[in-house]
Amino acid sequence: MQKTKKLKKLVVANWKMNPKTNAEALTILKETLKGANTAVDVTVCPPFLFLSLLAKIKLKKGITLGLQNVSEFEEGAHTGEVSVLMGKNFPISYVIVGHSERRAIKESDEVVAKKVLAVKKAKLTPIVCIGEHERDQHGLYLDAIKKQLLASLALLPKAAIKEIVVAYEPIWAIGKSASEAMDGHTLHQTSLLIRKILIEQFGSGAKETRILYGGAVAPENAALLVKEGEVDGLLVGHQSLKPKAFGEIIMGVSHA
């Protein structure tokens, strides 16, 4: 399937609920900047509480900060939530939405769809996460992926499809070691399926939608996953907290 426009590959660091201190957060970001190169777009998504601090660091071209989550609401009585408009006080470009660790605490497809819309309205780019719990022999996971993808994008205007990122993260691979990541061939089949579903639903604009892979990404598998899996980048969890390893992942993606 031919894509029309070649955007740069994107590598996303999802720090999740790490690290513990301001000092560590500063060090990780500063070291991460050393490993970034302009061939690849990089976005670092720290916990909200570190944003004020990290936003003071001058970022290189092609590197941005992002959010790991936002509320579907703009403001109001929503204790403990953070709105995308608050995020806009910082130099952020991307917002992860519908991560499986949030879906695990009962974030529904309907709420994810509202969050995607809120992020788009704020003129930022949502990174919409999808992925199956397990691969059953009968291929039921294929329907599950389709249902989750379409429900998560249910409120997105058709024309906006090229302005979002879809991150495919099979839940069974998350947090595992490199050898337990999905193999490149299977990833290719899945990325083709995702693109086909997007094109059927949203039209040819979906040829430009960036599709990322996440789940046990490490220096040893990054280039292969992107090349064989034919994805447009990676969403990296625990290895993104290790600047040297993350730098190698960026290098691998830029050569893939």
Which residues would be at the binding site for ligand 13P (CB under 6 A)?
A: 14, 99, 169, 174-175, 214-217, 235-239
Which residue lies nearer to ligand 13P by CB, 190 or 239? 239
Catalytic residue among 169, 230, 238, 248: 169
Q: How far is the CB of 176 from ligand 13P (least distance, A)?
A: 6
Q: How far is the CB of 233 from ligand 13P (least distance, A)?
A: 12
C-alpha 187/C-alpha 154 separation (Å) is 24
Catalytic residue among 99, 107, 230, 238: 99
Q: Which of 132, 98, 91 is nearest to 113 (CA)?
A: 98
- The two tokens of residue 5 are 């426009």
Which residue lies nearer to ligand 13P by CB, 195 or 238? 238
Q: Which of 66, 21, 19, 31 is nearest to 235 (CA)?
A: 66
Which residue lies nearer to ligand 13P by CB, 215 or 252? 215
Place of tokens 């899996």: 229
Q: How far is the CB of 239 from ligand 13P (least distance, A)?
A: 6
Phi-psi region of 129 (alpha: psi -120 to 50; beta: other; left: phi over 0): beta
36: Cα within 13 Å, side-chain hemisphere:
24
Which residue lies nearer to ligand 13P by CB, 42 or 202? 42
Helix 222-229 to helix 184-202 angle (10° resolution) is 50
Q: How far is the CB of 12 from ligand 13P (least distance, A)?
A: 7
Cβ atoms 142, 193 nearer than 8 A:
yes
Longest dimension (CA), the chain: 51
Which residue lies nearer to ligand 13P by CB, 24 or 75? 24
Q: How far is the CB of 102 from ligand 13P (least distance, A)?
A: 10
User: Active site includes 74?
Assistant: no
User: Active site includes 248?
Assistant: no
- Return the residue nearest ligand 13P (CB atom): 237
Residue 210 vs residues 110, 189, 198, 201: alpha-carbon distances, Å: 22, 16, 11, 16
Is 191 in a helix, a strand, or coil? Answer: helix
Q: Which residues are catalytic?
A: 99, 169
